[in-house]
Structure 1
Amino acid sequence: MHTDAFDYNLLTVFDAMLRERSVTRAAAQLGLTQSAMSHALNRLREFFDDPLFVKTAAGMTPTIKAEALSETVLEVMTAMRTRVLPQASFDPATMQRTFTLCMTDMGELVFLPPLMKRLRVVAPHCKLRSLQVPVPQIEALLASGDADLLLGSVQTAPESLFRQQLFMHGFVTIVSTKNRQVREALTIEQFESMPHVTVSLAGRTSPSYDAAFESQGLKRNIYLHTPHFLSIPLLMEQQPELIATVPEELANVFSRYGIVRVVKPPVALPPYALSQYWHPRFHHDPAIVWLRQLVKQTFDSYPETDVSSDARPVPRRAKSGRSKRNT
């Protein structure tokens, strides 16, 4: 780096001379020849109009001016070594950091367990924090760094965010294990007559399967809207006549606890994409790049995975020939 009058690379020469008190040893530390080191030292002397380091019995001793400059030079070089350079050589094994992820309570069940398992192995000093926030607040949180990634399926994600598709999952219907009326699949009559529980997340559009039901002419008897996925199986345990259509992976988690069971809905429902989103400000941040790679690798083996190597801003309209489904 240079200004009109000063080459900032000379600060490393000054720093080495302060610590080594020897032109020969300072040159060896910086990987310079002794001639190049002497030339750089002469440039420093010329700029500051001072010898800076003079030969004594104790070695190259700093002058009064060099002593006055030494504290500032050491502070600058320490900041470079401890704050700037580590950003270019990110080491997850030694880093201590809390990563913040925006997700729903469903996301906590689906994403967090496998992520926690991997994180504890490859980055044992890092921690996780999850947030559930309305869609209008997501961009500001990611832009400020108060959140690192958004994980989930957000049809109305801001256009400015980058998105990478992780895997595809479909929708299934769940019923209480106490419900004896429904067998392996729901009939259309059962589906339309039984009371439904649906999840309405703050700031989100209707579930993507709504259009599929409407196109088939199906009418749901919606009894309860709730913002929480996790309450559904508990409600069904108390009210066995309730049914709900939820993401398949979530239904599989619920069914492990023996409260609900998975059945086929009466019509085929389109799959949906679970993705990770991040702000362009942190697109090249080494820690966030590593975190995105960890998330991608964690869910590479999930069913119907469709993860591409590159990421693009989320397109809402066709721009420059970009495909809406490419990530």
Structure 2
Amino acid sequence: MIESQRNLNEIHFMNWCKVDLNLLKVLAVMLEERSVARCADRLFVSPSAVSHALARLRTMFSDPLFVRSGGAMLPTIRAQSLERSLSLLSTVLNAELEKTRGSQCTTAFHPAESVRDVKIVSPGALELTLVPAVIAILHEQAPNWTLTVEPFERRSYESDLATGRVDFVFSIGGTTPVGALVDGITLWEDELVVLAGPRSDLYDCTDRISTELFLAHRHVYPLPWPISQNYLDVELARRGQHRNIAVSLPSYAALGHLLETTDLVSSLPDRSARALMRSHPDLKLLRLEPARRSELSLLWGIAAAQEPAIAWIRDIIQRAAGELESFPYKRVAGDRRLSRSTVA
């Protein structure tokens, strides 16, 4: 982000009034196409016009910008550093143009008659809760839509959202800034809880256990991201503590069965834990002392928010999240498990 801001400032200090903005358009398309001929085709100009523009750009930035390698024009490090800044500038301009088009458009949006592929980035734990809830609504109300889910990584998705590579990010940890290009809301707050099966000695414990007791057991870790990026493990490492991870899994698919048949335990968000208990009722939920909570945010690109389809699916996600608030659980006499209370 700092590098992009430096590049934007550099372009600004050149004095916009003296810069031919068509040159920046040529640079942006060249960075995508890596070919003078293809760039010329996209801009409806001759290859010699693109070559002339590149010569002026090289003088402007005091850098070759592109070097020929085989049949391609490869960007220099300097050109690569400018690529994201140009992408962000393009996104801002597109957002303003989209606002104008949106205000002029009077065609009603009908989800059931539309066709679209929605791309969402999501932590693995939400495959037990929010993701299937959203899929169910889409299947009913927008049967021609498709949904692609990418695994969440601990990094900024600002560029992905601003350029429309992905439509939404279910974010934990605040690694993507909300600002001129990205907007977002908090969907809910999760509490980190522990699940144990009948073979674990934690099964006979009270509903709350200490961190020390939790760490004394062997763990299953479904891998949403590396341990070095997991907020629980980072917090423990600062105190010189660590989990004894006996099994690492690529997803949550086998977690319930593994906990039921071994003495291993696992920590996961409370909504995901309760969802897993509905298919594995012999599991027991325990709360940690001290409690650890984290927010789940929904992020989207501001430019894309002007599109009726994106605004509609955003409302669908918010509604689905609201219906997944933690259900109240109560103790059943003579039963070690937590059972769901009757809710209207």
**Counterparts in 2 of 1:262 and 1:91: CA distance versus 1, 3 Å:** same
Asked if structure 2 preserves the Cα contact closer than 8 Å seen for 1:101 and 1:131, the reply is yes
Equivalent residues in 2 for 1:47-126, closer than 5 Å: 89-126=108-145
- Return the match for 2:194 from 173, 176, 184: 173
Give 1:149 shift: 0.8
Task: Give SS of 1:131's match.
Answer: strand
Distance in 1 (CA, whole Å) between partners of 2:321 and 2:238 is 32
1:182 matched to 2:196? The reply is no
Determine the structure 1 residue equivalent to 2:287.
Answer: 265
Determine the structure 1 residue equivalent to 2:164.
Answer: 145
1:254 matched to 2:276? The reply is yes
Equivalent residues in 2 for 1:226-237, closer than 5 Å: 226-237=249-260
Equivalent residues in 2 for 1:207-286, closer than 5 Å: 207-210=230-233, 220-238=243-261, 240-258=262-280, 261-286=283-308
Distance in 2 (CA, whole Å) between partners of 1:155 and 1:111 is 19
**Counterparts in 2 of 1:271 and 1:192: CA distance versus 1, 3 Å:** closer
Asked if structure 1 preserves the Cα contact closer than 8 Å seen for 2:260 and 2:283, the reply is no
Determine the structure 1 residue equivalent to 2:15.
Answer: none
Task: Give SS of 2:162's match.
Answer: helix
Distance in 1 (CA, whole Å) between partners of 2:159 and 2:188 is 26
Distance in 2 (CA, whole Å) between partners of 1:102 and 1:207 is 17
Distance in 2 (CA, whole Å) between partners of 1:190 and 1:202 is 24
Distance in 2 (CA, whole Å) between partners of 1:191 and 1:164 is 32
**CA-to-partner distance for each residue in 1:21-73, whole Å, 9 max, x for gaps?**
xxxxxxxxxxxxxxxxxxxxxxxxxxxxxxxxxxxxxxxxxxxxxxxxxxxxx
- Residue identity matched to 2:323: S
Give 1:137 shift: 7.3
Distance in 2 (CA, whole Å) between partners of 1:219 and 1:118 is 40
TM-score of the two chains, using structure 2 as the length reference: 0.54
Asked if structure 2 preserves the Cα contact closer than 8 Å seen for 1:175 and 1:244, the reply is yes
Asked if structure 1 preserves the Cα contact closer than 8 Å seen for 2:197 and 2:265, the reply is yes
Query: Can you give the 5+ residue segments of structure 2 that lack an aligned partner in the other structure?
Result: 1-100, 328-344
Distance in 2 (CA, whole Å) between partners of 1:202 and 1:275 is 17
Give 1:175 shift: 0.9
Give 1:92 shift: 1.4
Give 1:118 shift: 1.8
1:191 matched to 2:214? The reply is yes
**CA RMSD for the aligned pairs?**
3.4
- Residue identity matched to 1:290: W
Give 1:174 shift: 0.5
Query: Can you give the 5+ residue segments of structure 1 that lack an aligned partner in the other structure?
Result: 1-82, 306-327
Distance in 2 (CA, whole Å) between partners of 1:227 and 1:276 is 24
Aligned length: 222
Determine the structure 1 residue equivalent to 2:314.
Answer: 292
- Structure having the higher helix fraction is 2
Asked if structure 2 preserves the Cα contact closer than 8 Å seen for 1:184 and 1:263, the reply is no
- Return the match for 1:132 from 142, 148, 151: 151
**CA-to-partner distance for each residue in 1:182-230, whole Å, 9 max, x for gaps?**
3243654642321123345347864444577679997543334545333
Asked if structure 2 preserves the Cα contact closer than 8 Å seen for 1:177 and 1:259, the reply is no
Please say which structure displays the higher CA radius of gyration: 1
Task: Give SS of 2:306's match.
Answer: coil
Distance in 2 (CA, whole Å) between partners of 1:285 and 1:254 is 35
Give 1:278 shift: 1.0
Task: Give SS of 2:271's match.
Answer: helix
TM-score of the two chains, using structure 1 as the length reference: 0.57
**Counterparts in 2 of 1:136 and 1:271: CA distance versus 1, 3 Å:** closer
Give 1:248 shift: 0.6
Distance in 2 (CA, whole Å) between partners of 1:88 and 1:204 is 49
- Return the match for 1:164 from 185, 200, 208: 185
Task: Give SS of 1:197's match.
Answer: strand
**CA-to-partner distance for each residue in 1:135-163, whole Å, 9 max, x for gaps?**
44744433332321112424322455321
**Counterparts in 2 of 1:89 and 1:124: CA distance versus 1, 3 Å:** same
Give 1:295 shift: 0.9
